[in-house]
Structure 1
Amino acid sequence: MQWLVTGCSSGLGLELARAILASGQQCIASSRNPSKTPSAVAEIEQRGGIWAALDIAAPDLESRLGEIVDKHGTIDVLVNNAGYAAGGPLETMEIEAIQSQMETNFLGPIRAIKAVVPSMRENRSGVIVNVSSAEYWDPHAGCSVYSASKFALEGLSESLATELSAFGIRVLIVEPGGMRTSFVDPDTVTRPVLPDAYKGTMTEFVLEGILAMHGEQKLDPRKAAQAVVEEVLRPCGAPPVLRLPLGRESLGGMRGWLGGWWGMRICVRRWRWVRIFKWL
């Protein structure tokens, strides 16, 4: 099978490309600007993969995807991994910044899915992997827009899983907790400026805590990538699971969200459609 993975310049995306190729699959890794990560590009190409320039929020996304397919062939597995988080109190965020985050984290995946579904439908097979977040289970203060983008992606995926099942197309939601990547690197992430009113509140505590945990996260992106590839190639159930929570944060948040008998009754369908990797 041929995979297309977005956001491969570092972190989970790069580890996914490595794991896909190690499993004997074909992989098209992509990033907005490959020239900024020449070593990663060279490594993936040396391993037999392909690297393509692809900006998930660009106006020409659909045409670029068409060019990639024309050149390299049909996409069997689409992994919507590209995304970013801009934190801070909602009232301080410019509407342009909010729109930009939704464009990358939600509308970009929608556009990519729309581009690949027709061929998957004709072939009566395919997998769409949408990378969400543990924020879905436990949204934090100061992360409202990022959480909203992931909630939207989860809702889209849950509905789409049923919509596309008639054509043999699977949807998988991946929900990683904090990983040891550059996602919250204080040297590259813009620290939000908090108004005095938010000093000493949970919002400040959470945002400072997120930046402070850089390099100390429990989840290994290499193991997370291996878990995703394993679930796609060897689904654990029939029908295949919908959600793949990765790491203690995601599992803990999910358990808390399902707490109590009434919560279990409401969420029993989702609970059954979950694969848990306790070793991550």
Structure 2
Amino acid sequence: MSQSKVWLITGASRGLGFDMAKIALKAGHKVLACYRNKRPQDTPKWDELEALGGIWTQLDVSSDDAESKVKALVSEHGQIDVLVNNAGYAILGSVEDVPLDKVQAIFNTNLLGTLRTIKGVLPSMRERKTGTIVNISSSNAFDPVPALGIYNATKFAMEGYTETLQAEVAAFGVRVLLVEPGSTATEFASETGTGIRVEPSKAYQEGLVKQVSDFLSSEQYASMGASSITVAERIVEAIDGTGSMAGKEIGLRLPLGKDTGAGLGKKATVYTDLANLRDVWGSI
């Protein structure tokens, strides 16, 4: 068992966030499990986490006061050793159809929300010269899917600043981990969960966008994904250096899921092809 640490996990009231909280608690950690606005409706989940020692904490990462609330949690609990930025949601719809106000809203949560919490924990981590920041991205960041263009964009943006963050905070002893899960059995894109589906305009009522949207919001898709519990276990093990991750050198990125392999292969081919265009980029 690794040394007990204080974890703060956003978006912990359901899905992957809840499973990570539960597994981290069973690994001996103290966990602040964040929910957005209201007490989770599934009372057994609430009770289950509390029975394991979890502390439910209200935190809306899209709110302007999220940074100050996280700083208050650092003061209240003495430290935050591991921040897991898990809160987020998906929008299903073509790039053309998604209204700009919905684009702004999802960026406010999926991107700016992670920056608010990082700004909340980083001063303390720098001062103590220790800490781990985990950003939950997606395999869509290297293998984008039609009908998820705006969601994909939030993850591309997250990956961009996370690469930079890693370089900036390494000298302070702070570790940064970018988790890239593939299909996972959660309500990620379902309207019964946190997903939003935009009504398609006439041009997109048939064809690829509708087909992908229907599939991603179906029970069939949810049942095909990797077990959320297993994905959560791998993340906790990668952070702690235990279990299947013991002795492994985990760098910035942690891709998870058998379906991520095809996407990684396609991206590798893209960069190989670009590297082979030496007569083009080398001509400048």
TM exceeding 0.5: yes
Alignment length, in residue pairs?
266
Task: Tell me if the contact between 1:101 and 1:146 (Cα under 8 Å) persists in the aligned partners.
Answer: yes
- Where do 5+ consecutive residues of structure 2 fail to align? 277-284
Cα offset, 1:239, TM superposition: 6.3
1:36 is paired with a residue whose SS is coil
> Which aligned segments of 4 or more residues in structure 1 are displaced greater than 3 angstroms?
186-191, 235-240, 263-266
Cα offset, 1:103, TM superposition: 0.5
- Name the counterpart of 1:246: 256
Is the alpha carbon distance of 1:43 and 1:200 closer, same or farther for their aligned partners in structure 2, counting shifts above 3 Å? same
Return the match for 1:193 from 176, 196, 199: 199
**Separation in structure 1 between the aligned mates of residue 55 and residue 75 of structure 2, nearest angstrom:** 14
Task: Tell me if the contact between 1:175 and 1:243 (Cα under 8 Å) persists in the aligned partners.
Answer: yes
Moved more, 125-134 or 35-44: 35-44
**Separation in structure 1 between the aligned mates of residue 77 and residue 25 of structure 2, nearest angstrom:** 16
Moved more, 29-38 or 114-123: 29-38
- Name the counterpart of 2:266: 256
* Residue identity in the other structure for 2:133: I
Task: Tell me if the contact between 1:87 and 1:142 (Cα under 8 Å) persists in the aligned partners.
Answer: yes
- Name the counterpart of 2:225: 218
TM-score under structure 1 length normalisation: 0.88
TM-score under structure 2 length normalisation: 0.87
Deviations 1:49-91 (A, max 9, x none): 2110000101211222122222222101100000001121122
- 2:65 matched to 1:55? no
**Two-structure CA RMSD over aligned residues (Å):** 2.1
Return the match for 2:133 from 124, 128, 132: 128
Is the alpha carbon distance of 1:108 and 1:190 closer, same or farther for their aligned partners in structure 2, counting shifts above 3 Å? closer
- Where do 5+ consecutive residues of structure 1 fail to align? 267-280
Is the alpha carbon distance of 1:92 and 1:79 closer, same or farther for their aligned partners in structure 2, counting shifts above 3 Å? same
Moved more, 128-137 or 226-235: 226-235
* Residue identity in the other structure for 2:251: V
Moved more, 8-17 or 54-63: 54-63
**Separation in structure 2 between the aligned mates of residue 117 and residue 238 of structure 1, nearest angstrom:** 26
- Name the counterpart of 2:279: none
Is the alpha carbon distance of 1:265 and 1:50 closer, same or farther for their aligned partners in structure 2, counting shifts above 3 Å? farther
The alignment-based identity, stated in percent, is 38
2:135 is paired with a residue whose SS is strand
Return the match for 1:138 from 125, 134, 143: 143
